[in-house]
């Protein structure tokens, strides 16, 4: 895919007239998809797709469009010629953009991650073995994802990685199921078997009569998937320079010094260990990591090129939405194997859903427990809990009420495939929290 994209980029350069400049962003994948239901393969396929987005620039005016690519050179070159002509016709009708900023210092780069993935048949066999005698429902997606950038100034960037993601559940009955994730860059049978064993234990607990717990404040253990959802919600405006300067960030109280998180909380945009490319659509290179929160205090923002231009600061290669794509919450000291024992009496929360802000300026979130949530007594799981709604501020969950984070973390890859496999990821520990507030 890389050379094919570079050939298209050279063709785009040949189409330019006068002082026109272009930037182009390429996305492609070669992925295997396998869907499971009742422990059996119900659908399997292999997808190869490519797409390109182009921004044609003349002075301070620019026009953008995107198109899919067929892989047939003659067809795609003709398609790009038509697209550039269309963008050129629009340029004269558009106003100047005061915040247009694109990379003019040529910084070319290449990254090719060697594939450590097994043949899909082998992964499918391991999954089917785990499903023996159980109703496993899920989707396995694996393969290579490539991203490219090019401009008419001669910059060429390529980023290619290989990953897998198994998003699955052991279904029990009605609305009762144990949800699990297994994602990474190299399949490990032992790691998968540990996840299966944990899920099997929880599936057994689901067979017990569920409890209804009164609203109130309880000690909870939030599994990494639940932490990922809560911390991920902060990406909705929490870390972007634009939202900070316009005072719309949910972390406003942190920026004014009115609130902080626990000293053990450090959150980074960890591009070097994620799946997303280390460059963005305007050609700016992303650093290996941007420390957003350190020791519980706010440190840096994600700065897109447009915000950099508007506010007169350097960009750090953030996307236009200034949302994290490789979010990383640092580890604590609590062994995961001891989490339920340390919880003692309270709720084990495996997943949450319907998560949103209930008071954005106070970073207050609301959501519901989902799938396997259990009542724990004497350091042991006793019974499943009926669905509950919570309403909590991140300042309490990761601040004053945080007991500890687990020493082990999980790599969680967004399972979205709309338009292409998502490259958004998180690396999260579990969290032991006091006085977590449930309202219904």
Q: How many CB atoms lie within 10 A of CB 322?
A: 22
What's 295's DSSP letter?
A: T
Candidates 151, 108, 158; CA nearest to 13 is: 151
Pairing of strands 267-269, 364-377: unpaired
Cα–Cα dist 433/172, whole Å: 28
Do the beta carbons of residue 406 and residue 429 sit within 8 Å?
Answer: yes
Pairing of strands 380-384, 389-393: unpaired
User: Which of the residues in the chain have pLDDT under 70?
Assistant: none
Dihedral sign from CA coordinates of 225, 258, 330, 236: positive
Do the beta carbons of residue 7 and residue 73 sit within 8 Å?
Answer: yes
Which pLDDT score is estimated for 20? Answer: 98
SS3 content of the chain, % helix, strand, coil (to 5): 25, 40, 30
Tokens of 160: 């290619």
Q: How many helices (H) and strands (E) does the chain have?
A: 10, 18
pLDDT (tens digit per residue) in 253-264: 999 999 999 999
Cα–Cα dist 349/376, whole Å: 10
Pairing of strands 389-393, 364-377: antiparallel
pLDDT (tens digit per residue) in 345-359: 999 999 999 999 999
Candidates 141, 118, 117; CA nearest to 36 is: 141
b/e map 230-259, b = 16+ CB within 10 Å: bbbbbbbbbbbbbbbeeeebbbbbbeeeeb
Q: Which residues contact 250 (CB under 8 A, 6 or more apart)?
A: 234, 236, 237, 238, 357, 360, 361, 362, 363, 394
In the block, tokens 């790691």 appear at 191
Cα–Cα dist 172/165, whole Å: 22
Q: Which residues contact 384 (CB under 8 A, 6 or more apart)?
A: 176, 205, 206, 208, 210, 211, 372, 373, 374, 375
Cα–Cα dist 423/417, whole Å: 10
Pairing of strands 156-173, 109-112: parallel
Domain boundaries, given as residue ranges, for the chain: 2-206, 216-438
b/e map 403-427, b = 16+ CB within 10 Å: bbbbeebbbbbbbeeeebbbbbbbb
Going from the C-alpha of 75 to that of each of 7, 148, 226, the distances in angstroms are 13, 20, 46
Alpha helices in 70-175 (DSSP H): 73-91, 120-131
Candidates 276, 239, 260; CA nearest to 427 is: 276
Candidates 386, 405, 14; CA nearest to 215 is: 386
CATH topology of domain 2-206: PmbA/TldD fold (3.30.2290)
């Amino acid at each position: 895919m890389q050379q094919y994209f570079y050939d298209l980029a050279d063709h785009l350069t040949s189409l330019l007239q006068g002082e026109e400049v272009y930037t182009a962003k390429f996305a492609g994948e070669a992925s295997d998809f396998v869907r499971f239901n009742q422990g059996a393969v119900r659908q399997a396929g292999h997808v190869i797709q490519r797409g390109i987005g182009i921004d044609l620039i003349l002075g301070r005016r620019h026009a953008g469009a995107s198109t899919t690519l067929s892989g047939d050179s003659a067809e795609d070159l003709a398609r790009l010629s038509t697209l550039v002509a269309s963008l050129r016709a629009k340029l004269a009708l558009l106003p100047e953009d005061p915040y247009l900023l694109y990379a003019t210092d040529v910084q070319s780069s290449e990254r090719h991650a060697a594939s450590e993935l097994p043949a899909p048949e082998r992964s499918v066999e391991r999954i089917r073995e785990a499903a023996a005698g159980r109703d496993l429902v899920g989707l396995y997606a694996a393969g290579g994802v490539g991203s490219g950038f090019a401009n008419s100034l001669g910059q060429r960037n390529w980023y290619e990685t290989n990953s897998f993601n198994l998003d699955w559940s052991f279904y029990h009955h009605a609305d009762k199921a144990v949800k699990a994730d297994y994602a990474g860059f190299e399949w490990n049978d032992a790691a998968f078997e540990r996840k299966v064993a944990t899920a099997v234990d929880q599936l057994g607990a689901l067979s017990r009569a569920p409890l209804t717990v009164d609203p109130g404040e309880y000690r909870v253990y939030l599994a990494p998937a639940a932490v990922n959802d809560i911390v991920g919600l902060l990406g909705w405006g929490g870390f972007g320079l634009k939202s900070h300067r316009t005072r719309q960030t949910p972390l406003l109280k942190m920026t004014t010094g009115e609130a902080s998180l626990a000293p053990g909380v450090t959150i980074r945009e960890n591009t070097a260990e994620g799946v997303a490319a280390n460059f963005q659509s305007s050609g700016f290179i992303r650093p290996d990591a941007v420390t957003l929160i350190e020791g519980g205090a706010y440190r840096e923002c994600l700065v897109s090129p447009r915000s950099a231009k508007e506010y007169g600061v350097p960009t750090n290669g953030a996307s236009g939405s200034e949302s994290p794509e490789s979010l990383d919450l640092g580890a604590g000291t609590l062994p995961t194997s001891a989490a339920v024992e340390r919880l003692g009496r309270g709720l084990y929360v495996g997943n949450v859903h319907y998560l949103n802000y209930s008071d954005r300026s106070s970073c207050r979130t609301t959501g519901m427990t989902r799938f396997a949530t259990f009542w724990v007594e004497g350091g042991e799981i006793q019974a499943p809990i009926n669905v509950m709604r919570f309403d909590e501020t991140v300042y309490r969950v990761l601040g004053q009420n945080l007991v500890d984070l687990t020493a082990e973390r999980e790599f969680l890859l967004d399972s979205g495939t709309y338009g292409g496999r998502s490259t958004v990821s998180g690396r999260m520990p579990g969290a032991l929290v006091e006085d977590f507030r449930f309202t219904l």
